[in-house]
Chains A and B, each alone.
Chain A
Amino acid sequence: MTKQQANWSPYDNNGGTCVAIAGADYCVIAADTRMSTGYNILTRDYSKIIQLADKSVMASSGFQADVRALQKVLAARHLIYQHQHNKQMSCPAMAQLLSNTLYYKRFFPYYAFNVLGGLDNEGKGCVFTYDAVGSYERVGYSSQGSGATLITPFLDNQLKSPSPLLLPAKDAVTPLSESEAIDLVKTCFASATERDIYTGDKLEMVILNASGIRREYMELRKD
């Protein structure tokens, strides 16, 4: 008598890839806009990026229903914070909140793979990368989602992140200018789109800097 297996899963993977790169005074957060299930495309125009606060932007791939629920929880918590403290949450504070929110559901996790990008209290770019249960780390760049395995080695090669074990401690930001970083992100996605079937359609980029926030789009291959 073989053990009964569940024939229904509470999770689904809607695919997609997210990338974030931190600069000296800017941060680029990018994700493709394809939402899929299995071998089918649900839509070519779904945004995985949300602005949680003035200086915090989150991109999430994985199960988009869980991503949406997570975004709502964070937005509500941010509103409470604003009422209590009379100011917006800083990016490092939001990073900790996201980690705690994810771990809160340690035994029925949000199937969401997140990158949080923004400007820290000194105005420098910061990127935080997460697993599904809230383990996080501040890094200079990160990639999550179905195309991450294709993009991360390329970013490692280009951005040469210093090891956190080295002394003296080095800044976790890239030496690139804002436009160079944007071009790099476009290259990453164009390449990932070639080989990852779940990545494509359109690239959405959010760029945060001292003058504010802006969005850019780029078409990607639709096959």
Chain B
Amino acid sequence: MVAGGAAIPSGVCDGSGEAGVCDDRPEIEDPRDFGMCEQASSELSLHQKKIFKVDDHIGVAIAGLTADGRVLSRYMRNECINHSYTYESSLPVGRLVVQLADKSQVCTQRSWKRPYGVGLLVGGLDESGPHLYYNCPSGNYFEYQAFAIGSRSQAAKTYLERKFEGFMDAQEDLIKDALFALRETLQGEKLTSSICTMAVVGVGEPFHILDEEAVQALIDEFQIEEPPTDEATASDESSGAESGPADQGTAADQGATPMDI
């Protein structure tokens, strides 16, 4: 642990990652997807929960010290509830991330505190449309169209950078893109719904985590279990079903920290 702005506890870069994709174009659906790949620490244990519903219109995925992530999720839930109680309306996503960022910053400027060791992908919907934010332990936050975090996120980020301009508006396509990005992070392993969690939020559709069968059905439908042999052009051309290389959900970078963009 290093004191000061850009320090990230090493726990952040553990064996799992996430990616979020969002479509910002004004469409009927305005969906936002989160996908997250979680590797269980041993065969005996269940997967740790890393995607949390914060409110009907906001969800968060975490990478790093999950205990810190749970604490921050609890804080975010509380802020949303208090805002709804006072103003009878949903807390805009941008306000929530600022409050979260300011809370994180305090821990970087008090000698007796330590930063929250977790990066958060906050996705949600408000009056101005869908948003995806990334909150760092330093208190910095950024808005994205698509992003991936975690120890193997670089592969997913590369995929997203190539693909994001062509993101379709339909929710199914976004889910497909997220799964492709997720698969990129697996480095050859098979993508199944047992190591992957997917959540969606959209207009008229409260934030909810898809159940395992639904995710497996989507994986099968897009036939993205097998990573492509040639990742570059071949995969770009195909519209997904057969040789879609990248899974967008999880990103696991070796050695990358949440601060890296």
Known: A72-B85, A79-B81, A83-B53. 4 other contacts (CB 8 A): A76-B82, A76-B84, A79-B77, A80-B78
Q: Mark B82-107, 1 if CB is under 8 A from A, else 0.
A: 10110000000000000000000000
Cβ-defined contact, B85 with A76, below 8 A: yes
A83 in contact with B84 (CB, 8 Å):
no
Interface of B is mostly: helix
**Number of A-B contacts defined by CB within 8 Å:** 13
A158 to chain B, nearest CB (A): 41
* A76 to B84 alpha-carbon distance, docked (Å): 9
The proximity string for A residues 86-124 relative to B, scoring 1 for CB distances below 8 Å and 0 otherwise, is 000000000000000000000000000000000000000
Tell me which residues across on chain B come within 8 A of A83, comparing CB atoms: 53, 74, 77
Name 13 A/B residue pairs within 8 A (Cβ), A-sorted: A72-B85, A76-B81, A76-B82, A76-B84, A76-B85, A79-B77, A79-B81, A80-B77, A80-B78, A80-B81, A83-B53, A83-B74, A83-B77
Please measure, in the bound complex, the distance between the C-alpha atom of A72 and the C-alpha atom of B85, giving whole angstroms: 7
The 4 A-B residue pairs whose C-beta atoms are closest, nearest first, are: A76-B81, A83-B77, A76-B85, A79-B81
Task: Give the complex CA separation of A79 and B53 in angstroms.
Answer: 11
Q: Report chain B residues within 8 Å CB of A72.
A: 85
Query: In whole angstroms, how far apart are the Cα atoms of A83 and B75 in the complex?
Result: 12
A65 to B: closest C-beta gap in Å: 15
A interface residues, Cβ below 8 angstroms from B:
72, 76, 79-80, 83
Bound form: Cα–Cα A83–B77 in Å: 8
Q: Taking CB as reference atom, which chain A residue is nearest B52? A: A83
Chain B residues near A76 (CB-CB < 8 A): 81-82, 84-85
In the bound complex, CA of A80 to CA of B73 (Å): 12
Q: What sequence of 0s and 1s flags, for each residue 122-148 of chain B, a beta carbon within 8 Å of any chain A beta carbon? A: 000000000000000000000000000
Cα distance, A79 to B76, chains bound together (Å): 13
* Chain A hits for B77, CB < 8 A: 79-80, 83
Q: How far is the CB of A70 from chain B (nearest CB, A)?
A: 12
Give 1 or 0 for each of B194-219: 1 = CB within 8 Å of chain A CB: 00000000000000000000000000
Contacts of A79 in B (CB 8 A): 77, 81
Question: A132 vs B81: C-alpha distance in the bound complex, in angstroms?
Answer: 26
Q: What is the CA–CA distance of A7 and B187 in the complex, to the nearest angstrom? A: 77
For residue B172, give the distance in angstroms from its CB to the closest CB of chain A.
Answer: 27
Question: Roughly how many angstroms separate A165 CA and B74 CA in the complex, as a whole number?
Answer: 45
Q: CA A80 – CA B78 in complex, angstroms? A: 8
Chain B's closest residue to A79 (CB) is B81
B74: nearest chain-A partner, CB-CB: A83
How far apart are B93's CB and chain A's nearest CB, in angstroms? 18
Q: Which residues of B contact A80 (CB under 8 A)?
A: 77-78, 81
CA distance A103 to B53 in the complex (A): 31
Q: Which residue of A lies closest to B84 (CB)?
A: A76
Complex CA gap A83/B52 in Å reads 9
Bound CA span A129–B78, Å: 30
* B85 cross-chain contacts in A, Cβ below 8 A: 72, 76
From residue B208, how far is it (CB to closest CB) to chain A in Å?
A: 13
Complex Cα spacing A176 to B85, Å: 39
Write the nearest CB–CB distance from B51 to chain A, whole angstroms: 13
Q: Which residues of A contact B84 (CB under 8 A)?
A: 76
Q: How far is the CB of B87 from chain A (nearest CB, A)?
A: 12
User: B72 to chain A: closest CB distance in Å?
Assistant: 13
Query: Nearest Cβ distance between residue B260 and chain A, in whole angstroms?
Result: 31
- How far does the Cβ of A60 sit from chain B's closest Cβ, in whole Å? 18
